[in-house]
Amino acid sequence: MKQKPDCGELSYKGSGRLAGRKALLTGADSGIGRAAAIAFAREGADVAICYLPSEQPDAEEVAKYIRDAGRKAVLLPGDVSDEEFCLRLVADAVEQLGGLDILVNNTGRMGKTEGVLDTSSERFGTLMKTNVYSQFWITKGAVPHMKPGASIINTTSIQGYKPSGKVFDYAMTKAAIANFTKGLAQDLMEEHGIRINAVAPGPVWTPLQEADGEEEKLKKLGQDAYFKRPGQLVELAPVSVLLASQEASYITGEIYGVTGGHGIA
């Protein structure tokens, strides 16, 4: 990114809240996932990260931060829009970490569209498989390996509640993720003792914004938030840490907005 976001590389300080835990995060080479991976390691967790093979250099950077925190880093490149890879991803993470306590479903694609008539089935299908199907496949694969007290954290978005026309299909996927999270909460708790929650970011400075945004629009990102600026990724990480930790032992089926004041109601 031209303007590098703060993912907590220098600023996040841990306090042992995830000591001994084992976490798998998708989309963790950059953005929200990168910030969460760094925070989890500094809180005492061993961390496996999934990312596209083309993002290997960024993933290696994250792995270094994890190892510098004294924790184990496992690198698992691949494309989560493929069901077979998703199931293999979970199995490899469990094997190399020695178990699984925390799952963060964070991978996402966006991209602009000019409206429903100009939105191809290929684009729509890719968004659905990457953003929604992957969470279903990975969660289904992970649950049998997770013990009572484990935590699943999904990434949805303010777009799931207040959609913008230029990304209506992306917004659909984020609404589906919020519903997926709430819909699974009772069954996962009653049958498996697993909590599931989601984080809903608002205008935050991520690679998706720069890759898919217009220059003038990017300059205005976050100006309508109460803080008059976009959020930094390190400002989302503490919410994921809370939801992953036993401090959130009575929290499930919730969507946590980090929106700069916009809200998600």
Q: What is the pLDDT of residues 175-200, one digit of tens each?
A: 999 999 999 999 999 999 999 999 99
Does any domain span residue 35? Answer: yes
pLDDT score of 208 more than 70: no
Compute the 3-state secondary structure of the chain and give helix, strand, coil in percent, each to the nearest 5: 50, 15, 40
Amino acid at the residue 148? P
| Catalytic residue ranges | 170
Does any domain span residue 5? Answer: no
Confidence of residue 203 (pLDDT cuts 50, 70, 90): confident
Residue 213: what pLDDT?
Answer: 57
How many domains would you assign to the chain? 1
Q: In what order do the strands lie in the sheet with 22-26?
A: 73-77, 46-51, 22-26, 102-105, 151-155, 195-201, 255-258
Model-wide pTM > 0.75: yes
Does any domain span residue 254? Answer: yes
Cβ neighbors of 171 (< 8 A, separation 6 or more) are 157, 159, 160, 163, 164
Answer yes or no: are the C-beta atoms of 9 and 37 closer than 8 Å: no
Does any domain span residue 9? Answer: no
Taking the alpha carbons at both ends of the chain, their separation in whole angstroms is 31
Q: Which two tokens stand for residue 27?
A: 């989309």
Residue 152: what pLDDT?
Answer: 99
Q: What range does the domain containing 39 cover?
A: 22-258
**CATH number of the domain to which 90 belongs:** 3.40.50.720
pLDDT score of 211 more than 60: no
Does any domain span residue 246? Answer: yes
Does any domain span residue 16? Answer: no
Does any domain span residue 12? Answer: no
> In b/e form, how buried is each residue of 162-175, taking b as 16+ CB within 10 angstroms?
ebeebbebbbbbbb
pLDDT score of 62 more than 90: yes
Does any domain span residue 202? Answer: yes
Question: Using one digit for the tens of pLDDT, what is the confidence trace for 120-143?
Answer: 999 999 999 999 999 999 999 999
